[in-house]
Amino acid sequence: MTIFDDDDDAEPQLKVVDNYYFEKAKDEFVCFSTLPLKFDENDKVSGKGIYLRRYSADGAPAVYKQVVAWTVALNREQPKISVLSSEGYWI
């Protein structure tokens, strides 16, 4: 399920994406761990990043977002991995 943060007339921000993959270029698949790990909000990230992608085969919106870093939250029953979009929000 894809969940959006509906904020007035602004473009909706993704919060959760399923059935996804990462690519560096068309048909060049990569692991998200090739991105820098961001430990806290003060860490700076640089680089072009990679793209989070999901095709719309099941009627859900397609996703194609550039991501520049990743983080992991270990303070829950299962680890939660998030990626940082180039726009500055976590997915």
Flag whether 90 is in a domain.
no
pLDDT at 36 exceeding the cut of 80: yes
**Could you tell me the pTM of the whole model?**
0.74
pLDDT at 17 (0 to 100): 75
Quick one: average pLDDT of 15-26? 81
pLDDT at 13 exceeding the cut of 60: yes
List, as own/partner pairs, every contact residues 52-58 make where C-beta atoms lie below 8 angstroms and the sequence separation is at least 24, other chains included.
52/17, 52/20, 52/22, 52/83, 52/85, 52/91, 53/20, 53/21, 53/22, 53/23, 54/2, 54/17, 54/18, 54/19, 54/20, 54/21, 58/19
Flag whether 54 is in a domain.
yes
Q: What are the tens digits of pLDDT across the range 67-77?
A: 999 999 888 89
Flag whether 46 is in a domain.
yes
- The total domain count for the chain is 1
Domain that holds residue 13: 3-85
How does strand 13-16 pair with strand 21-25?
A: unpaired
> Which tokens belong to 37?
């790990």
Flag whether 53 is in a domain.
yes
pLDDT at 3 exceeding the cut of 90: no
Flag whether 35 is in a domain.
yes
pLDDT band at 11 (very low <50, low <70, confident <90, very high): low
